[in-house]
């Protein structure tokens, strides 16, 4: 089955300059290091002061991309702060790495530990709700801060681990993964640290109201009846009621929990809010929740392939349910074919996506699974589609395919990736 690809995000004119040529008034659009390894939460911004440049140098940044449509070109003709004209620079784009193998084993292990500890803490918090304590909330907020710190250091690994999960309806797991994804989206969108913590906390407990629903309803595999849907929709109000037991729970986070099923076109619940009545942070949470629920399978809905989940989100955004710009941010974060996507190549071979490049979202690294005749490979070769040469077969992704229809056990495939 072919899933239509979401539209690509347009990029403005950019040029590469050396860090010593960077001046206030220029707009940074990229760096020669992963942006989450710098002290800046935003990876695109207008440089206003010389001390920002000094800080970049101190973190080993040697070259940056500037966007000449959003800031000064070279030689500098405008400035926020007095500075001398910059020398001439190369106009070639910042060269991508020859091979981007993904996070190293240490990053993966650190991300696994962070995620496991967060899930354990959140699961304990949920089980202690019969006797709520301020200390329990303090522990959950501490987990959010730890996850945010982890995103700064191991974002690629942490976001990638979300793609590894399938067939897991555990409420704590869904809460932690939604929190990681929402905060990563918020960082991509340029949110401040204080906003990210509010967003991460809301995402962590956004489905807490489901703890008040009948267990047989949550485990139901048959399609929901109208009565079932009405009960499910009550979990937003129930969640707000539970959180009201915690005097120090932030009001903005509580509002996000109540509204995470609202949609911009008014088709959501519980109040049918529209447009500006739904904050951007709530919209980010809604998108992260929907994506994670789709790829992992929730309630009576089976899991769907990552590429299909993104396609459905994009179509819903075009229809008016979500902000298109926010869904595009998610696509930019995960790639059109996210990690764990089963794909068919132009050669007829089947493969699974094992890594998505930050510099080339349409040409990820893949692991070959079957040849064009449908026979499994004994030696499952890993190929970086972005680093192919003309010396051999040039492979490209033709379409995303449904693993169920193709007869694959994605649980086993994903478990073997890292």
Tens-place pLDDT, residues 34-64: 544 454 545 577 888 776 787 677 667 888 8
**Residue 344 three-state SS:** strand
Query: Quick one: pLDDT band at residue 282, thresholds 50, 70, 90?
Result: very high
Q: DSSP per residue over 268-319, as a string?
A: -SSS--BGGGS-HHHHHHHHHHHHHHHHH-BTTBPP--HHHHHHHHHHHHHT
Q: Give the separation between CA 87 and CA 76, rounded to whole angstroms.
A: 9
And the tokens for 256?
């996000």
Residues facing 383 on adjacent strands: 366
Residue 104 clears pLDDT 80, i.e. is over it: no
pLDDT digits (tens, 9 = 90+) for 141-197: 999 999 998 888 888 888 888 876 655 568 999 999 999 999 999 998 889 999 999
pLDDT in tens, 53-102: 876 776 678 888 888 888 888 764 444 443 333 323 333 333 333 344 45
Non-local (6+) Cβ contacts of 331 within 8 A are: 6, 9, 310, 314, 361
Is residue 257's pLDDT more than 90? yes
CATH code of 105-334, in short, is: 1.10.3210.10
Please give the model's pTM, rounded to 2 decimal places: 0.74
**Average per-residue pLDDT for the chain:** 82
| Cis peptide leading into residue 75 (ω within 30°) | yes
Please tell me the chain's helix, strand, coil percentages from 3-state DSSP, rounded to the nearest 5. Answer: 45, 10, 45
Report d(CA 175, CA 309) in Å as an integer: 18
Dist CA 390 CA 387 (whole Å): 10
Provide the H-helix boundaries in 105-234.
105-127, 134-164, 171-189, 193-204, 215-218, 226-233
Please choose, from the candidates 276, 241, 281, the residue with its C-alpha nearest in 3D space to the C-alpha of residue 258.
241
Strand partners, 28: 45, 66
Q: Tell me, what's the pLDDT at 94?
A: 35
pLDDT in tens, 327-358: 988 988 898 889 889 999 999 999 999 888 87
Q: What are phi and psi of 107, to 5 degrees?
A: -65, -45
Task: Name the residue ranges covered by the structural domains of the chain.
Answer: 1-95, 105-334, 342-415
């Amino acid at each position: 089955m072919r899933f239509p690809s979401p539209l690509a995000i347009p990029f403005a004119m950019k040029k590469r300059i050396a860090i010593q040529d960077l001046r206030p008034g220029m707009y940074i659009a990229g760096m020669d290091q992963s942006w989450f390894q710098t002290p800046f939460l935003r990876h695109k911004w207008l440089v206003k002061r010389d001390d920002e440049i000094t800080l970049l140098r101190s973190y080993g940044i040697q070259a940056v991309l500037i966007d000449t449509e959003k800031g000064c070109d070279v030689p500098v003709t405008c400035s926020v702060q007095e500075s001398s004209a910059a020398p001439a620079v190369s106009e070639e784009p910042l060269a991508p790495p020859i091979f981007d193998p993904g996070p190293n084993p240490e990053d993966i292990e650190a991300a696994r530990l962070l995620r496991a500890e967060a899930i354990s803490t959140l699961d304990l918090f949920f089980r202690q709700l019969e006797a709520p304590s301020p200390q329990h909330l303090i522990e959950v907020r501490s987990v959010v801060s730890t996850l945010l710190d982890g995103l700064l250091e191991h974002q690629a690994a942490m976001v990638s681990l979300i793609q590894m999960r399938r067939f897991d309806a555990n409420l704590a797991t869904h809460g932690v993964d939604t929190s990681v994804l929402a905060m990563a989206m918020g960082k991509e969108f340029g949110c401040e640290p204080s906003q990210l913590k509010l967003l991460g906390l809301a995402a962590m407990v956004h489905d807490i109201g489901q703890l008040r629903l009948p267990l047989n309803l949550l485990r139901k595999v048959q399609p929901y009846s109208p009565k079932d849907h009405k009960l499910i929709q009550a979990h937003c109000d129930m969640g707000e009621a539970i959180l009201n037991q915690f005097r120090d729970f932030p009001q903005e986070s509580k509002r996000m929990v109540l509204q995470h099923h609202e949609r911009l076109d008014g088709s959501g619940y519980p109040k049918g809010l529209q447009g500006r009545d739904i904050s951007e942070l709530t919209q980010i949470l809604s998108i992260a929740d929907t994506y994670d629920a789709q790829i992992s399978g929730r309630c009576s809905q089976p899991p769907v392939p990552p590429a299909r989940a993104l396609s459905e989100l994009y179509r819903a955004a075009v229809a008016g349910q979500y902000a298109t710009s926010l869904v595009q941010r998610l696509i930019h974060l995960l790639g059109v074919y996210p990690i764990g996507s089963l794909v068919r190549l132009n050669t007829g071979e089947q493969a699974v996506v094992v890594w998505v490049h930050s510099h080339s979202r349409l040409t990820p690294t893949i692991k070959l699974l079957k040849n064009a005749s449908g026979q499994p490979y004994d030696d499952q070769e890993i190929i970086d589609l972005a680093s192919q040469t003309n010396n051999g077969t040039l492979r490209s992704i033709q379409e995303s395919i449904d693993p169920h229809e193709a007869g694959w056990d994605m649980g086993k495939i994903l478990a073997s990736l890292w």
